[in-house]
Amino acid sequence: MRFQTQVDIDAGVEAVWRVLTDVEDWPKWTASMTSVQRLERGELGVGSSARVVQPKLKAAVYTVTECEPGKSFTWEMKTTGVKVRAGHDLEDLGGGRTRMVLSVEQSGALSGLVAALFGKRAREYVSMEAQGLKKAAESLATGTGAE
């Protein structure tokens, strides 16, 4: 299963990146996350990991496997029979606007079963995250707060 959504944000790439990579704050702006706890300090980059708790899903540890600072990061989670790969890509549209593309891909022996059971929820969560990020980044960019 692969699902992707995009949203245009009225904020510059720097502001969007700041909100996006402050993963522990995600629960403040999206109901798709109950908690996110970084497992080490420092900037988010390849090798960084976080324990993610989402409503109606088991807690999972995601590890950043690709990162281009200011532009994109991908993190992955593996469990028995399934690998989940989540991409977060920014495109500078100019004029203080950014396009955000969020994607989630499931693969592995049990991915079909997981997609059947949780595919709708995954799509809902990705859409919620895109809209929440838009609101948080636009609030940051206009100085009205990120919540």
Tell me the residue range of the domain where 52 lies. 2-141
Tell me the helix, strand and coil percentages in the chain, rounded to 5.
Answer: 35, 40, 30
- CATH classification at residue 110: 3.30.530.20
Residue 147 maps to a domain: no
Q: CA 31, 36, 42, 47 torsion: positive or negative?
A: negative
Residue 26 has pLDDT above 70, yes or no: yes
Of residues 46 and 110, more confidently modeled: 46
SS3 category, 138? helix
Domain count, the chain: 1
Residue 134 maps to a domain: yes
pTM of structure = 0.88
Q: Tokens 């995250």 label which residue?
A: 129
